[in-house]
Structure 1
Amino acid sequence: MNFFRKILFPFAILYGFITAIRNFLFDKGILKSVAFDVPVIAVGNLSVGGTGKTPQIEYLIRLLSDHYKIATLSRGYKRKSEGFVLANATSNAEILGDEPYQFYQKFPNIQVAVDANRVNGITQLLSQKNAPEIILLDDAFQHRKVKAGFYILLTAYNDLYSDDLILPAGNLRESSSGAERADVIVVTKCPQDLTSEQQAEIRFRLKPKSNQQVFFTFIEYDSRVYSETKQLLLAEIETVDKLLLAGIAKPEPFFAYLQAAKSGTMVFSDHHDFTAQDIETIKEKAKDKIIITTEKDFVRLKGKLPKEQLFCLPIKSSFVNNKADFDKTIMNYVGTSTGNR
């Protein structure tokens, strides 16, 4: 523990005590959770950002949307709207937030909604004539006013919750004991060649309960980058002079994957709201180079930078092994829940 964390440790104890009391009240039913008559899958983490919630939600959408009517419900972090909003053709990243708008752009066959009040959000979705059959809750592991039917807890390979401390001394939103609420634990951002022995060592460190499954995923990058009007193979631009831009929690893997001798980089804070001055700075640094950014940044920059210059690199979550077991677990939960409606 470094010196700064030692100074903050007493505050972490206090924060941990407060969150423990809150969880106790929910566990005992003193604070009420609302359950719903449709399958609700909550995806979240114990730490603050950077675990790969968006690609995990997208994985679930791909798995389920051919069989069921799907809706995603997010808080809509840093959006400029209020209350419940259901995405439509007039929506943008400012109205929905970057991640929900990304879902809406990539998966036009699902419903995408935002509401800080998740109980109200689900109620509004289910009150529609075309109500969803499954609701995916984004970043909702601590949102205990909703009692989800299935909880997926994410933890990053290089930043396991078992090795971390509670805020502000560390990055945990609550004690690592909160992991006991998870049905499935997914270790994200693993090396693709993670061995069985390494997986066993991580399971030992996480200490899952006997009823909890642990899975391992890695980030798989697309072989192309995409603008609004065209796509380019990565091999085509490997030696091209370009600007790499990211406003995400942990951009280092993105830069490392695309980095080349002629590539410049620009880093912004997670969910950064790009100002007019930011746009001018980007244009000045890019000049006539192509700009490659993340999908989340792309939806915020689209329309602000020349469309022939701005590209994004899509990613997806892939399983190191046991993909079929994960899919079966999710489909079994959903099938049982819908069958009991």
Structure 2
Amino acid sequence: MELSDFFFQMQNIYIFTPIMGIKFLLFPFQWLYLLVTGIRHLMFTTGVRKRASFPLPVICIGNISTGGTGKTPHTKYLAKLLTDNGFRVAIILRGYKRKTKGFIHCNNNHTVSDIGDEAWEYVHRLGSDVNVFVDAKRKKGIKTIIQQFPDTDVVLMDDGYQHFAVKAGFYILLSDYLNPFYNDYVLPIGNLREPRRAKKRADVIVMSKTPKVFSPLIERDLMSQIKPGPGQKVVFSYFDYEKAIPVYSENQNSIELPKNLYSAFLLTGIANPYPLEEHLKRNCIELYTHAFADHHEFTVKEIENITKDFSGYLMKNKAIFTTEKDIARLLNADIKEKLVDLPLFCIPVSIGLHPNKEIDFDNLILDYVKQYSRNS
């Protein structure tokens, strides 16, 4: 378990008391966390511990919060952008909550226990055009990619902003529009893995999950709060939800989404389901959310509870929805048995970018990769 994961779990202690002042008691732990992470960072910046650069473009997509900023859909966006422009792309991530260890080249035969739910999603959404790898030691993992897959043009490092052993060539920092880093505090008082000043390492700051209708007034207000440094670019993105599709392949032609949806049941274990909840509310009359912690491993009992609620609701125009990230954790045979005959749908999500006269994000990424390739 990484240090930030431990303190994130500790943070939840205050939930179990009505006395909000309990957060005050966590201040000593915040200083301890800052001390440990600060020493670790200092060891890399002073050269006591070596950082590795690589002879190919490495783009880091990360955040300074504990999750829920949209790293996975933004990484998919970059992978598609680069493959569409002829580059051979590799994605590396640690494979959070997998039961295996070491370096794995992920494929369709791997389960969520083998590679984690995020890697599973990359494999099944991006297909064979992108090589996906998991390795907790990203430095070692990238070296192995270069050795075993020498035709790789660019590596996308998912969630590597605090992985100082790797010196990426380009850093993208994501921040949730509804939970921006500039209003947050370091663990365990808040949800930040690092102090706000860590934003300085980013080449581009992406404010994610902004409204699809985005006024210049909102943009100006956000820019005044973000306060980008010299040379830093700021991009505003939004979630674009696609057509719902059946979760189980055997239901592709037998189960249809009700045309006039009345009741929607959301089953999910992601860090921040709010954007999806808002999307569903716009397309139904009533929404019932069964939300669990990020990367939650569903139990049969939990699934039985939602199926009981669903079956006990008398309206006919109803359906259950989940996310691409959750699908891998719903394939367990015992869980699938409870859900396979129900109208269970996944809602894929893609990324849209608000127009910006000062920055063309796509070309910025492509120019970096092309320039690096010319100089190598």
* Larger proportion of helix: 2
1:270 has 2:294 as partner? yes
1:207 has 2:215 as partner? no
1:206-247 Cα shifts (integer Å, max 9, x gaps):
22111100111111111333433438887x444254422111
Give, as a single letter, the amino acid of the residue that structure 2 aligns with 1:274. Answer: F
So what's the TM-score if we normalise by structure 1?
Answer: 0.92
Mapped contact 1:239–1:262 kept (Cα < 8 A):
no
Q: 2:307 aligns with which of 262, 276, 283?
A: 283
Q: 2:87 aligns with which of 68, 77, 81?
A: 68
The CA distance in 2 between the partners of 1:155 and 1:88, in whole Å, is: 30
Instruction: Report what 2:9 is aligned to.
Output: none
Instruction: Report what 1:44 is aligned to.
Output: 62
* Superposition map of 1:160-309 within 5 A: 160-227=180-247, 228=249, 229-230=251-252, 236-259=258-281, 260-287=284-311, 290-302=319-331, 304=336, 305-306=339-340, 309=343
Gaps of 5+ in 2: 1-19
1:132-179 Cα shifts (integer Å, max 9, x gaps):
211111111000101111100001112111111111111110111111
Q: C-alpha displacement at 1:97, in angstroms? A: 0.6
Identity %: 39
1:176-218 Cα shifts (integer Å, max 9, x gaps):
1111111110001111222223222222212211110011111
Mapped contact 1:70–1:111 kept (Cα < 8 A):
yes
So what's the TM-score if we normalise by structure 2?
Answer: 0.84
Relative distance call for 1:41 and 1:238 in structure 2 (3 A) is farther
Instruction: Report what 2:50 is aligned to.
Output: 32
Give, as a single letter, the amino acid of the residue that structure 2 aligns with 1:292. Answer: F
The CA distance in 2 between the partners of 1:199 and 1:263, in whole Å, is: 31
Q: C-alpha displacement at 1:296, in angstroms? A: 0.6
Aligned residues: 339
Instruction: Report what 2:41 is aligned to.
Output: 23
1:291-330 Cα shifts (integer Å, max 9, x gaps):
2101111222135231763210011111122297101110
Give, as a single letter, the amino acid of the residue that structure 1 aligns with 2:93. Answer: S
The CA distance in 2 between the partners of 1:117 and 1:31, in whole Å, is: 14
- SS for the counterpart of 1:328 is helix
Give, as a single letter, the amino acid of the residue that structure 2 aligns with 1:9. Answer: F
Relative distance call for 1:185 and 1:262 in structure 2 (3 A) is closer
Runs of 4+ displaced beyond 4 Å: 231-234
The CA distance in 1 between the partners of 2:130 and 2:287, in whole Å, is: 37
Greater displacement, 124-133 / 290-299: 124-133
Mapped contact 2:108–2:124 kept (Cα < 8 A):
no
